[in-house]
């Protein structure tokens, strides 16, 4: 499935401020929510709809309504910063959680928590702001598939080419939506230029 990099002036504006190290946690959270709204609108572009007839004050006219249940699965903890946007856009969304912790020396993620609904038949979004090595995203999507998910879109704020390649190799059926494809990873497997540790900046923890 293809990679889509969001091309919108507001997305670029928000991303620039998210990258800025002087942006405080309150601003960071607010901008993350707005940027995620743009990303999710793009990510759900192909969600299934059905036609209905609507009575306006003047006449009957055809309209379209959503016809596919949606699920959002944030990868803890940074993915929580993206969840509120999905819930506001889709009030009936089912929410699952996956906890993955990356080892600082090996950059390999360890699963410490998983709580997922039945994802079969749903339009599923995996939320993780930083697609770095791709290991965490691949593990999360594998878990989602064990709970019935067949239609999954990965939504991230920034992505590294290495992570995109790894995820596409592990799950070639997955679509990836991101606001930026960055230069690559440094020796510690952090995205460059990136925006630092997303979770730390989101919650003001050093």
CA distance 138 to 128: 11
130-139 in b/e form (b: 16+ CB < 10 A) is bbbbbbbbbb
CA distance 122 to 120: 6
- Classify residue 58: in a domain, yes or no: no
- Classify residue 49: in a domain, yes or no: no
User: Cis before residue 98, ω within 30 degrees of 0?
Assistant: no
| Residue 203, pLDDT score | 87
Decide the pairing of beta strands 123-127 and 152-159: parallel
- Classify residue 62: in a domain, yes or no: no
Cβ-based neighbour number of residue 103 at 10 Å: 9
Residue 189, domain CATH: 3.40.50.2020
The β-bridge partners of 154 are 126, 176
CA dihedral of residues 174, 180, 182, 186 (deg, nearest 10): -80
| Cα–Cα distances in angstroms (integers) from residue 93 to residues 68, 96, 163, in the given order | 10, 10, 27
Nearest one of 82, 181, 173 to 126, comparing CA atoms: 82
Give 205 or 196, the one with higher predicted confidence: 196
Q: Which of these ranges, 79-83, 174-178, 201-205, has the smallest mean pLDDT?
A: 201-205
- Classify residue 53: in a domain, yes or no: no
Averaged over 37-49, what is the pLDDT?
Answer: 96
CA distance 87 to 99: 19
Residues in the chain: 206
| Residue 193, pLDDT score | 96
Q: Which domain holds residue 107?
A: 3-44+69-203
The β-bridge partners of 60 are 55
The structural domain count of the chain equals: 1
pLDDT, tens only, 76-130: 888 999 999 999 999 789 999 998 776 565 556 667 778 999 999 999 999 999 9
pLDDT, tens only, 131-164: 999 999 999 999 999 999 999 999 999 999 999 9
**Could you tell me if 1 and 173 are in contact, meaning their C-beta atoms sit under 8 angstroms apart?**
yes
**Residue 44 carries which DSSP code?**
T
Backbone angles phi, psi at 143, to 5 degrees: -65, -40
């Amino acid at each position: 499935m293809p990679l889509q990099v969001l091309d919108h002036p507001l997305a670029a504006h928000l991303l620039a401020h998210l990258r800025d190290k002087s942006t405080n946690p309150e601003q960071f959270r607010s901008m993350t929510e707005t940027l995620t709204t743009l990303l999710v609108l793009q990510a759900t572009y192909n969600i299934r709809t059905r036609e209905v007839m609507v009575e306006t004050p003047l006449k009957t006219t055809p309209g379209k309504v959503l016809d596919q249940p949606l699920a959002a699965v944030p990868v803890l903890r940074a993915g929580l910063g993206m969840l509120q946007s999905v819930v506001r856009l889709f009030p009936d969304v089912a929410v699952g959680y996956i906890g993955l912790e990356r080892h600082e020396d090996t950059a390999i993620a360890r699963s410490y928590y998983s709580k997922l609904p039945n994802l079969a038949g749903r339009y599923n979004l995996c939320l993780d702001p930083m697609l770095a090595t791709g290991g965490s995203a691949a593990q999360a999507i594998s878990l989602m598939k064990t709970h019935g998910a067949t239609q999954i879109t990965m939504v991230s704020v920034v992505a590294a080419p290495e992570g995109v390649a790894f995820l596409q190799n592990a799950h070639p059926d997955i679509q990836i939506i991101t606001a930026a494809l960055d230069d690559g990873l440094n020796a510690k497997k952090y995205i460059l230029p990136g925006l630092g540790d997303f979770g730390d900046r989101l919650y003001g923890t050093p």
